[in-house]
Amino acid sequence: MSTIPARRRRATIHDVAVEAGVSRGTVSRVVNDEPYVSEQARIAIEAAIEKVGYVPNNAARSLVMQRSQAVGFIVHEPHSLFLEDPNIGGILLGANTALSSADYQMVCLIIDSDRDNDRVARYLSGGFVDGVIIVSARQNDPITRIVEKLALPSVFVGHPPDLRQLPFVGIDNRSSARAITERLIGTGRKRIGMIAAALDRDSGADRLAGFRDALGPRFDPALVEDVPLYAFSAGVDGMRRLLERAPDLDGVFAASDAVAAGALEALREAGRSVPGDVGVVGFDDSAWALRCQPPLSTVHQPAAGLGEAAAESVLAQLRGEEPDLGGILLDTPIVWRDSA
Amino acid sequence: MSTIPARRRRATIHDVAVEAGVSRGTVSRVVNDEPYVSEQARIAIEAAIEKVGYVPNNAARSLVMQRSQAVGFIVHEPHSLFLEDPNIGGILLGANTALSSADYQMVCLIIDSDRDNDRVARYLSGGFVDGVIIVSARQNDPITRIVEKLALPSVFVGHPPDLRQLPFVGIDNRSSARAITERLIGTGRKRIGMIAAALDRDSGADRLAGFRDALGPRFDPALVEDVPLYAFSAGVDGMRRLLERAPDLDGVFAASDAVAAGALEALREAGRSVPGDVGVVGFDDSAWALRCQPPLSTVHQPAAGLGEAAAESVLAQLRGEEPDLGGILLDTPIVWRDSA
DNA sequence: ACATAGTCTGTGCACGTTCACAGAATCTCA
DNA sequence: TGAGATTCTGTGAACGTGCACAGACTATGT
């Protein structure tokens, strides 16, 4: 008969105090790096901590400190995001990096259904997190309302919904779109079209606006085809329709890399060479960009940077600083490859 | 001068008790759905909870209950995983679904550096989580050792490192590879090659073994080309070399969809039609599979199912059940598309 | 020698909950 | 009626920590 090893009680600050022959208070001071503790005591306590394997109990600490040292990372519509949006992983990573160097823990809160909405709402109200990073909030989002009501330090990645004045980080879709279109014009293309996508979202509308900015008076609405989603198949359809309408086209700005990949496919079908007959540029610098044949020229989305900036903003608010309601916009370098 | 709204103290169980005219104990019983409370008291308490907006304080609860109601989701090598591995998102989602319906919170612990290793180790030792799901652990992994030392309920997605006897969920790479190879043989192909990948990992070695199983005595080592990574470019290289060595080849099993996509590219270069001249099958049913031209026949990895199964296993251990050390293997349906 | 400032240490309380226990009230059955 | 079971309620203790406070000890200057 094997003896079941007794699940040993975890060492507490009291055990350390006894071991080191001092009081709880002094141990606490050492653990929290506070002044006014003698070198002798510090050494004894550090040895005792090591010996008994002491790790502070977070629940007790949270209870007395009234904070959790955790930040929520809220993601909506995970199915489409995790599978389609290559940026989300980078944002997650960037946020995690910044939070963990500040000794905060990142808690993923994934909203997949209405039940999840309730659960997350309860979680936020329960004081489990000291702040939140919200990715891709929807219009009329219950979570957004709760965050406001609790006055929880928060930051959105992308524009906050319902035109609210809340802190956010993002990129300037409009000027980025303008920049890459200008670059495409600079290669000598004369008839440049756009496959616009997701015009119901800020990002989609802004990319179209930037395209228009770049072309100025030469902008021709007939050369814009719009598709509902940032998706490969939408790109194929959009490109086909565009080619039908404007067979003499020699340049295309696709609203995302996935759309651009679809466009390349349609161009191949139609027997056009890229970049010979038609120059193509995308947006996002996602995994699609390198997979395409030829590799895409595109606008780089600094996903990790966005995550880091979002985390820094929350941390600043946690330190009591006033958030910048105007939003933080990150640079988007253009990556020039062979497709244009 | 605007008055700063005083950050109101959160309602406690005591406030509810006063409001409802009962004691803390009775409120606690209502909150935790315990028996032995009169209908009258229950109604009064529920009204009081609503009125004062009471939400239980988790820190206090964790402190006295000695558990956190949270499960860690540990991911190694996030850069390659989040960007390359389409399965990780599905696993995350599946695990989250199962955990949240059991009222457990999932905490993402991303290990990106040695510093992260320390931080996560501290986190686990600190009792912040009651169990862990570990994705893609490395050989000789410090986290694995800590989990063992703490006897923390745990489950690996994929085989545990160092041949340890620890619970895991996964797929049967060998029999899946065998099945899809047999299916390819069934289409009448006579000279079938394989681009094996990542032979240093269990998954890679098993897929090769399955291929060998399917061919039996007809297996020809000269028709196997191996590449280091599950990557597109590796697929291109592997296919080129394979074609050089065996120009009469009429079927290829690629060790992953990314590799298969690379193979398609190389076949196109070489002027072979797919599936006309050569039938190609992949593995994973990742986003690559549908993007390819033609779409890939492949083995479906039930990513969400793996996440759910992993979560269920941890939850079962948390309920005190003995884990199944043999591991749980999920079914992998074959998805037949146009590439073979 | 004494006052004063500076350095260090120990103690009790609070945080908000659960749980064991005691006791009150009601019901059941001889 | 009274003993015993059943249902319900309130109370004190405990979980492990940080913090305010009181007090002891040491150095400095008069």
pLDDT in tens, B59-93: 899 999 988 888 999 988 655 555 556 678 788 88
Average pLDDT over residues A51-57: 90
Label residue B180 by pLDDT band (50, 70, 90): very high
Task: Evaluate the omega torsion of the peptide bond into residue A142 and state whether it is cis, within 30 degrees of 0.
Answer: no
Nearest residue to C10 (CA, C1')? A23
A61 assigned to some structural domain: no
What letter would DSSP give residue A335? Answer: E
Give me the CA A339–C1' C26 separation in Å, rounded: 85
B2 assigned to some structural domain: no
B6 assigned to some structural domain: no
Predicted local distance difference test score (pLDDT) of residue A4: 32
The separation between CA B271 and the C-alpha centre of its own chain, rounded to angstroms, equals: 38
Of A19, A62, A210, nearest to B60 by C-alpha is A62
pTM above 0.85, yes or no: no
Q: Which residues, at least 6 apart from A320, have a Cβ–Cβ distance to it below 8 Å?
A: none
Q: Which residue in A has a C-alpha nearest to residue B128's C-alpha?
A: A58
A215 assigned to some structural domain: yes
Whether residue A139 sits in one domain with residue A281: no
Average pLDDT over residues B170-180: 95
Predicted local distance difference test score (pLDDT) of residue B6: 39
A276 assigned to some structural domain: yes
Whether residue B244 sits in one domain with residue B151: no
What is the C-alpha to C-alpha distance for residues A325 and A148, in angstroms, rounded to an integer?
Answer: 14
Q: For residue range A9-20, what is the model confidence (pLDDT) as tens digits? A: 788 999 999 999
A273 assigned to some structural domain: yes
Whether residue B190 sits in one domain with residue B159: no
Neighbours of A47 (CB within 10 A): 13
Predicted local distance difference test score (pLDDT) of residue B84: 55
Q: Do B265 and A125 touch (CB under 8 A)?
A: no
B334 assigned to some structural domain: no
Average pLDDT over residues B295-314: 94
Interstrand relation of A251-254 and A192-197 (parallel, antiparallel or unpaired): parallel
A103 or A182, which is more confident? A182
Predicted local distance difference test score (pLDDT) of residue B4: 32
> Is the distance between the Cβ of A34 and the closest atom of strand C smaller than 7 Å?
no
Predicted local distance difference test score (pLDDT) of residue A77: 67
Q: How high does pLDDT run on average in chain A?
A: 88
> Is the distance between the Cβ of B28 and the closest atom of strand C smaller than 7 Å?
yes
For strand D, which nucleotides have at least one atom less than 7 Å from a protein CB?
7-12, 14-21
Average pLDDT over residues B102-114: 83
Whether residue B313 sits in one domain with residue B164: yes
Whether residue A228 sits in one domain with residue A167: no
B61 assigned to some structural domain: no
Predicted local distance difference test score (pLDDT) of residue A165: 86
Of B330, B287, B326, B323, nearest to B308 by C-alpha is B330
Judge whether residue B7 has pLDDT over 60.
no
Q: Do A123 and B112 touch (CB under 8 A)?
A: no
Domain count, chain A: 3
Whether residue B263 sits in one domain with residue B179: yes
Judge whether residue B289 has pLDDT over 90.
no
Whether residue A33 sits in one domain with residue A76: no
The share of chain A scoring above pLDDT 70, in percent, equals 95
Closest CA–CA distance from residue B56 to any residue of chain A (Å): 6
Q: Do B107 and A105 touch (CB under 8 A)?
A: yes
Predicted local distance difference test score (pLDDT) of residue B95: 93
Q: Decide: B106 and B46 in contact? Cβ < 8 Å.
A: no
What letter would DSSP give residue B86? Answer: T
Kindly state whether A83 is in contact with chain B, defined as any CB-CB distance less than 8 angstroms.
Answer: yes
Label residue B2 by pLDDT band (50, 70, 90): very low
Between vectors from CA B299 to CA B293 and to CA B300, what angle results, nearest 5°?
100
Whether residue B227 sits in one domain with residue B122: no
| Listed ranges A58-67, A111-120, B104-113, B233-242; the one with the highest mean pLDDT | B233-242
Give me the CA A9–C1' D11 separation in Å, rounded: 27
| Strand order across the beta sheet in which B168-171 lies | B105-111, B70-76, B131-135, B154-157, B168-171, B328-330
Domain that holds residue B194: 173-299
Average pLDDT over residues A190-209: 92
Whether residue A287 sits in one domain with residue A317: no
Average pLDDT over residues A117-142: 83
Nearest residue to C20 (CA, C1')? B25
Judge whether residue A158 has pLDDT over 50.
yes
What's the CATH number where B276 sits? 3.40.50.2300
The separation between CA A124 and the C-alpha centre of its own chain, rounded to angstroms, equals: 20
What tokens were used for B224? 């196997």
A113: phi then psi, degrees, rounded to nearest 5: -165, 175
Judge whether residue B33 has pLDDT over 60.
yes
Average pLDDT over residues A132-139: 84
Closest nucleotide relative to residue B15's CA, C1' based: C16
SS3 of residue A323 by DSSP: coil
Closest CA–CA distance from residue A218 to any residue of chain B (Å): 35
Between vectors from CA A235 to CA A255 and to CA A156, what angle results, nearest 5°?
40
Judge whether residue A82 has pLDDT over 60.
no
Closest CA–CA distance from residue A219 to any residue of chain B (Å): 32
| Listed ranges A93-102, A320-329, B48-57, B304-313; the one with the highest mean pLDDT | B304-313
What is the C-alpha to C-alpha distance for residues A181 and A259, in angstroms, rounded to an integer?
Answer: 16
Whether residue B242 sits in one domain with residue B205: yes
> Is the distance between the Cβ of B38 and the closest atom of strand D smaller than 7 Å?
yes
Q: For residue range A232-271, what is the model confidence (pLDDT) as tens digits? A: 889 999 999 999 999 999 999 999 999 999 999 999 989 9
Label residue B109 by pLDDT band (50, 70, 90): confident
Residue tagged 């996440």 (tokens): B307
What is the C-alpha to C-alpha distance for residues A253 and A219, in angstroms, rounded to an integer?
Answer: 13
Whether residue B287 sits in one domain with residue B180: yes
SS3 of residue A286 by DSSP: coil
Whether residue B215 sits in one domain with residue B114: no
What's the CATH number where A44 sits? 1.10.260.40
| Listed ranges A78-82, A147-151, A152-156; the one with the highest mean pLDDT | A152-156
